[in-house]
Amino acid sequence: MRDRTLINLIVFGAILLLVLNLPLPVAGRLKALTRDTLAPLQKAVSGFSRQARESLKLLRGVGGLIEENRKQAEEVARLRIRVGDLQALEAENLQLRELLRFRQKEARALMACEVVGRDVSGWWSMLRLDKGARDGLQPDLAVITAEGLIGRITNVSARTSDVLLISDPNCRISAFVERSGAFGIVSGCGPAAQGLPVCRMEFIDKSRKNPVAEGDEVVTSGLGGVFSQGLPIGKLEHVHTNASGLYLEADVVLRADLGALDNVFIVADRVQPPPRSPEDEGP
C-alpha cells in the first residue's frame, strides 16, 4: 500500500515536472487546442446565462418599459439631429481637405465580437472573445465598445482571442489629453473597489501653457504603434503632482463599464484576411 502511494507520487511528480518544463511553443499550442475545443461549450453557456440575465431584467423592468421607451425615442431623435449636423460638417471637412490636398482619412473598420468568458484564474483582468485567427484577428489589435477603449488582444487561437483590459496593471497605453495636448501613460490599477480608480494617467507634462484639469478627456495618442490615434479612454480626476514633483498624475474614470461587457468591437484596421490552407477547407 505504502509502495503504491510512493509510486503514484513519483509518477505524478514526473508528469508535473514534464508539463512545467514544456517548451513555450508546445505549451502555447496545447493551450490554444484546449481553448478551441472548449470554445463552443463556453459560447453556449455564456449565451444561456446572457439570455437568463436579460429575461430576469425584462421581468423586473416591465413597469419601467414605457418610461424607458420614451427616453430611448428622445435619445434617437437627438442623435438623428446630431448625425445630420455631423454629415454637413463631414462634407465641409472633405471639401476643405480636398482644397488643401490632404490625404483622406478612412472610417475605422470594426469587427463585432461576443464575450464568451473571463480569466478563469482571476489574476488578470481579461476577456475571451468568440473570434480568433480564423477571422483574421492577431495580437495587439485595439478592442472598444460604443463608449470607448477597453483593451487590446494578447493571445489568439483559431476560434478565440484574449483581451487584456485596460484595468490590468500590465496594460500601458500612450495617451494624450485632448484639450491641452499633454501626453502621458495610462495604466491599469487592477480590479478596483468602489470609489477607487480603475486606471491612472502618469507622466503628464506639467510645464505646458495649457495645464490639464479635472474632467479633461483622454484619448489614445497613436504612439507606440498598437492603438490608432483618437480612441476615447475616459476623463481625468484628482489631478496632482507626482512624488518626484516633475510630472502630473491623475485618476482616469473610464468611459466604458468594464464590469458589464457582452459585446465588443475590434478596431480591424490591421486585420489580416484569414489564411487559407487546404486543411481549412474541410466539410
Partner 1 sequence: MTQLVLIFALLTGVVLQAVLPPTWAWLGAAPAPILLGIVLYVALAHSQLRMLGCALAAGLLQDALGQIPLGYSSFGFCLAGLAAHRFQDEVFEHAGVTHAVFGAAAGGLVTLSLYGLLGKDGSIGLSPVWAVKKIAGAALLGALVTPVECWLLARLELRLGSRPQEER
**Binding of partner 1 at residue 255 (CB under 8 A)?**
no
Cell of 77: 431623435
Choice between 162 and 216, CB closer to partner 1? 162
CB of 169 vs partner 1, minimal distance in Å? 3
Q: Which of 15, 58, 76, 86 binds partner 1 (CB under 8 A)?
A: 15
> What is the 8-class DSSP label of residue 275?
P
CB of 60 vs partner 1, minimal distance in Å? 18
What would you measure as the largest C-alpha separation in the chain, in angstroms? 89
Long-range contacts of 247-250 (CB under 8 A, 24+ apart): 247/184, 247/202, 247/203, 247/204, 247/205, 247/206, 248/182, 248/184, 248/204, 248/205, 248/206, 248/211, 248/212, 249/200, 249/201, 249/202, 249/204, 250/200, 250/201, 250/204, 250/212, 250/214
d(CA 243, CA 150): 28
**Count of chain residues binding partner 1 (CB under 8 A):** 46
Alpha helix stretches (DSSP H) within the chain: 2-20, 24-60, 65-100
Choice between 182 and 201, CB closer to partner 1? 201
CB of 190 vs partner 1, minimal distance in Å? 6
d(CA 80, CA 60): 30
Smallest CA-to-CA distance from 137 within 266, 7, 278 is with 266
CB of 80 vs partner 1, minimal distance in Å? 35
**Binding of partner 1 at residue 191 (CB under 8 A)?**
yes
Q: How far is CA 18 from CA 4, 26, 27, 118, in A?
A: 21, 12, 11, 28
Within residues 129-188, the interface with partner 1 by CB under 8 A covers 154-155, 162, 168-170
Choice between 153 and 182, CB closer to partner 1? 153
d(CA 225, CA 180): 22
Residue listed under C-alpha cell 490632404 = 102
Residue span 84-123 as binding mask against partner 1, x where in contact by CB under 8 A, dash where not: --------------------------------xxxxxxxx
Within residues 35-54, the interface with partner 1 by CB under 8 A covers 35, 38, 41-42, 45-46, 49
Q: Which of 110, 158, 185, 192 binds partner 1 (CB under 8 A)?
A: 192
d(CA 249, CA 234): 14
Choice between 170 and 272, CB closer to partner 1? 170
CB of 227 vs partner 1, minimal distance in Å? 20
**Binding of partner 1 at residue 264 (CB under 8 A)?**
no
Q: Which of 14, 27, 65, 223 binds partner 1 (CB under 8 A)?
A: 27
Q: Which residues bind partner 1 (CB under 8 A)?
A: 4-5, 8-9, 12, 15-16, 19-20, 22, 27, 30-31, 34-35, 38, 41-42, 45-46, 49, 116-126, 128, 154-155, 162, 168-170, 190-194, 196, 259
